[in-house]
Chain A
Amino acid sequence: MRGIAMADKASGRARRLPRAVAAAGLALVTASACSAGTAMVGAHPSAPAVGFGSTASPMASPAPQTCNTSAASLRPTAQAANGKDVAAIKQRGYLTVGVAADQYLTGYLASDGNEEGFDIDLADAMAKSLFGDSSKAHLHLVAMSTDKRIPDLQNHTVDLVIDTMTITCTRLTMVDFSAVYYNASQKLLVEKTSGDKGLADLAGQKVCAQTGSTSIQLIQSQHPAPTAIEVTDISDCLVLLEENQVAAISTDDTILAGLAKQDPNLEVVGNALEPEPYGIAMAHGYDDLEEYVNGVLAQYEADGGWTAAYNQWLAGSLPAAGPPVAQYSD
């Protein structure tokens, strides 16, 4: 009897043991899932990294725009060229423009030490209009990360930001924008052989996007939704796509064009998922500068500068396009 009782006890322990192991395993899995959720590409933790991307947490849907982002800027005037803000820049002798240094084809610091891309050509046009040339003496390009663009405008570290910066109602409360200089839209980058044409084709698959971007919200809003994988630097998405760890990348078509240019096996597909009107940003209260910039922009678009830049940088990966029709707040 005693033996049986002990056997029962032992079997009871044996029955409980798998539960305990399962509970411990569940806790471990949960802990590792939690830690994986906080690990992001681009960060360099000393703790073991389990991967280069992490599944994005659910994000709230973006608030609907309550303003007209495409017609929020001042109409150019002839007097603007002599306005106090423009005069101050001319007197200083150089224009300071915040640009990206990591966005291939739009704003990228090449290995020869020169910035190049679609946005850089626009900055050149601004400097040429002000000083007659866009030499380094007259055009100071400051590479900046996304999170520094608005603070650096507000504290006047830079005069302008030309950095694939989408005009949004929220941003309009913090800085001013020129008229739209490019109508970007969110699209997808996929393998040419995949046959995928939109997010609907990617249900249940992994789609990579930049942390905190509207692309994450867009991916998560699909029914059924693909799994959004987030990284801090968009070029990490390209690595994940090349390693077959994700099926697609979602972001602005200009950025996707830059990624596609680096891998001939990839293509930009899909309808315009979300409009992203780009504008040149400047600090609040610089009305004459805003009018002047819009004037230069209109001239740049009219004299073929815009088309030449588009053809040089973006046309290889994106369909043919012309400059957007300028709209102003009045």
Chain B
Amino acid sequence: MGSVGQVAVATAQQQRGGGQVAVATAQQQSGTAAPPGGAPRFDTPTRLWLLLVTAVAAVLAVGCFAGVGLADRESAASHAGQSTEALYAEVQDLSYNLADANATAATALLIGPATPSQFTSRYNDDVNQAEVLLAAASQRVAGDGYASGELELLAEQIPVYTGLVGQALADNRFGIPVAGAYLRQASTMLTGPMLVETGNVVTEQQNATGAGIGSASSFSVWIFLVGVLALVALWRVGRLLSRISHRRLNPGLLTGVLVVVALFAWSLFAFNAASGQADVARSDFGTVSQAQTETSQLSLAETYVALQQIDRGEDQGADAAAARQALSAASPVGKTLPAIAATQAAQQDFASLNSCADNAIGLATGGNFSGAIAATVGNGSNGVPVGEGGCEPAAGALHADLLKDYDAGQQQFDADLTSLGGDYAGSAALWLGIVLGLLGAGGAAYGVNRRLAEFR
């Protein structure tokens, strides 16, 4: 083997008398005769080089686009779980801690001048936890001007709020009614601007999480387009190569084609699997959101039930209406989430609390505030201390149920996002795509180079 001239002669001899195409090929290969229709633009080796470059570029492009596209979606899934949803959960927890602190303080005022230690501890824990979460969330929102602004406002308001509650509890020790007024103002501040601010950040991050899940599972048109173009290009290269070499199959080029098809199929499979996983993740994210909303609403309901009794009817029914609205919003929706074991218990505990709270609201509406207070926090009968009777056990049980719901939903959601990322081969997606692309490109290059070598 060796010279181009020998190959050309052999080809010409084989084709002699056989047909125009063979003659033309021989002429082109020898580079001495012009084809019909004009002089060739490139000689054969150059054309083979161009075919090699085209094949390598096509396979590499598919590898890169598939790797980058899949890695990008894996990254979106990871970001949705580790950043966006984490911030969402932090601010939701912050909102819950504030609402629970308020409910604790309001209920403590019903018990009497001396606040029981478990109420003091719960209030302090809530406020401390809220401050920790606020600090963490504030660091996480760096770069998000809107969320930063909302959390800055909240950071300014929390000390004012705790000051009002502190004044209420101090006045309550003297048994003077202005304690209720301070608590009412603290509650107005909490349910007004403070929860609205946390709600704004929660909504923003909820939308961002939803968008992140969407991005993580969206089909890449670019991979599709590049894949199709690459296959067309490889088909053309194959045809031209076949024309030049008179061999129907080039194993190297075939390897490149197979790699492109594999990358294409992997992408399609991953997108399909991720799409299904994203639906599951959305559903579980709904569970997390719902459980957190219900927990906060439960605390708000406790607050309004207590405030109705503190206000002694001067709220003109507003507290009772707000309590019922919050109770309704706190109703567990576990029927749609049968996978969560705590849900059934939550339904029962909710029914128990709802009945108890309804009784207390009714008593207060009828002017029987002593009865309402006893129904809410107990009256010390049967050896149960005031503050541990009434609706308190049912409220505590429902709190625990909802927290279980939330934890279960959060774990499922985290698993969903990990699985979603896994559909794209996790963090290896980029390198896997590129390595496969390089392998395919290498195969194609080898195949074409074999033909090119024949002209050296």
Q: What residues of chain B lie closer than 8 Å to A109, measured between beta carbons?
A: 312, 369-370
If A109-B312, A109-B370, A233-B314 touch, whether A48 touches B180 (CB-CB below 8 Å) is no
Q: Contacts A101-B367, A113-B370, A142-B367; is A42 near B175 (CB within 8 Å)?
A: no
Binds A, one of B85-93, B184-192, B335-343, B440-448: B184-192
Min Cβ gap B110→A in Å is 9
The answer to whether A239 touches B181 (Cβ under 8 A) is yes
Task: Flag whether A238 is at the interface (Cβ < 8 A).
Answer: yes
> Are B189 and A49 in contact (CB-based, < 8 A)?
yes
A52 & B370 in contact (Cβ 8 Å cutoff): no
The 15 listed contacts between A and B (C-beta, < 8 Å) are: A42-B314, A42-B315, A46-B196, A47-B192, A142-B367, A143-B369, A145-B316, A232-B315, A233-B311, A235-B180, A236-B185, A239-B185, A242-B178, A258-B177, A262-B176
Q: Find residues 40-88 in chain A having any chain B CB closer than 8 Å to their own CB.
A: 41-50, 52
Chain B residues with CB below 8 A from A111, complex form: 112-113, 175
Known: A48-B196, A109-B369, A142-B368. 7 other contacts (CB 8 A): A42-B315, A44-B307, A44-B322, A102-B177, A143-B312, A143-B369, A235-B178
Closest 7 CB pairs of A and B: A49-B192, A145-B313, A102-B312, A101-B312, A235-B181, A142-B367, A48-B193
Q: Determine whether the beta carbon of A113 is less than 8 Å from that of B367.
A: no
Q: Does B182 contact A (CB under 8 A)?
A: yes
- Determine the chain A residues whose CB is within 8 A of the CB of B374 once the complex forms: 113
| Interface status of A110 (Cβ within 8 A of chain B) | yes
Candidates B112, B185, B191, B314; contact of A232 at CB < 8 Å: B314
Describe B's contact surface by its main secondary structure: helix
Most buried by B among A44, A232, A236, A259: A44
Q: CA separation between A110 and B373, bound complex, in Å?
A: 12
Per the 8 Å Cβ criterion, residues 148-186 of B in contact with A are 171, 174-178, 180-182, 184-185
CA distance A144 to B314 in the complex (A): 8
Contact among A52, A113, A142, A146 for B314, CB-based, below 8 A: A146
Residue B304, interface by CB 8 Å: yes
* Contact A43 B178, CB 8 Å, known A100-B312, A102-B311, A145-B313: no
Shortest CB-to-CB span from B319 to chain A, Å, is: 7
B9 proximity list for chain A (CB < 8 A): none
Question: For the complex, is A148 an interface residue (Cβ under 8 Å from B)?
Answer: yes
Output the nearest chain B residue to A112 by Cβ-Cβ distance: B112
Closest Cβ–Cβ distance, residue A216 to chain B (whole Å): 17
Task: Check B384 for interface membership: any CB of A closer than 8 A.
Answer: no
B379: chain A residues within 8 A (beta carbon): 113
Please provide the chain A residues from 237 to 277 with a CB less than 8 Å away from any CB of chain B in the complex. Answer: 238-239, 242, 258-259, 261-263
B453 at the interface (CB under 8 A from A): no
Q: Find out whether the CB atom of B319 lies under 8 angstroms from the CB atom of A44.
A: yes
Give A158's nearest chain B residue, CB to CB.
Answer: B367
- Kindly state the separation between the CA atoms of A143 and B373 in the bound complex, as whole angstroms: 13
Instruction: Let me know if B318 and A102 touch, CB within 8 A.
Output: no
| Interface residue A94 (Cβ < 8 Å from any Cβ of B) | no
| Contact-size category for A | 35 or more
Q: How far is the CB of B278 from chain A (nearest CB, A)?
A: 32
Residues in A whose Cβ lies below 8 Å from that of B367: 98, 101, 142-144
Evaluate contact between B177 and A235: CB separation under 8 angstroms.
yes
Whose C-beta in chain B lies nearest to the C-beta of A148?
Answer: B313
A104 within 8 A of B: yes
Q: Are B304 and A238 touching (Cβ within 8 A)?
A: no
A278 at the interface (CB under 8 A from B): no
Residues in A92-147 with C-beta less than 8 Å from chain B: 98, 100-102, 104, 108-113, 142-147
Which residue of chain A lies nearest to B319 when distances are taken between CB atoms in the complex? A44
A7–chain B nearest beta-carbon distance, Å: 32
**Closest chain A CB from B313 CB (angstroms):** 4
Nearest chain A CB to B401 CB, angstrom units: 25
What is the distance, in angstroms, from B254's C-beta to the closest C-beta of chain A? 64
State in angstroms the CA–CA spacing of A43 and B313 once bound together.
Answer: 12
**Which residues of chain B are within 8 angstroms of A232 by Cβ–Cβ distance?**
314-316
Residue among A101, A104, A236 making CB contact with B184, cutoff 8 Å: A236
In the complex, which residues 133-192 of chain A have their Cβ closer than 8 Å to any Cβ of chain B? 142-148
List A contacts of B314 (CB < 8 A).
42, 102, 145-146, 232-233
Residues of A contacting B315 in the complex (Cβ-Cβ under 8 angstroms): 42-44, 232-233
Give the nearest-CB partner of A261 in chain B: B176
CB distance from A291 to the nearest CB of B (A): 27
Please name all residues of chain A whose beta carbon is closer than 8 Å to the beta carbon of B187 when the two chains form the complex: 44
Q: A42-B311, A44-B322, A238-B181 are in contact. Are A147 and B369 (CB under 8 A)?
A: no
A49 to B187, CA, bound (A): 10
Contacts of A46 in B (CB 8 A): 191-192, 195-196
Give chain B residues whose Cβ lies under 8 Å from the Cβ of A101.
312-313, 367, 369
- Taking CB atoms, residues of chain B closer than 8 Å to A242 are 178
Which chain B residue lies CB-closest to A108?
B177
- A233 B175 Cβ-Cβ under 8 A: no
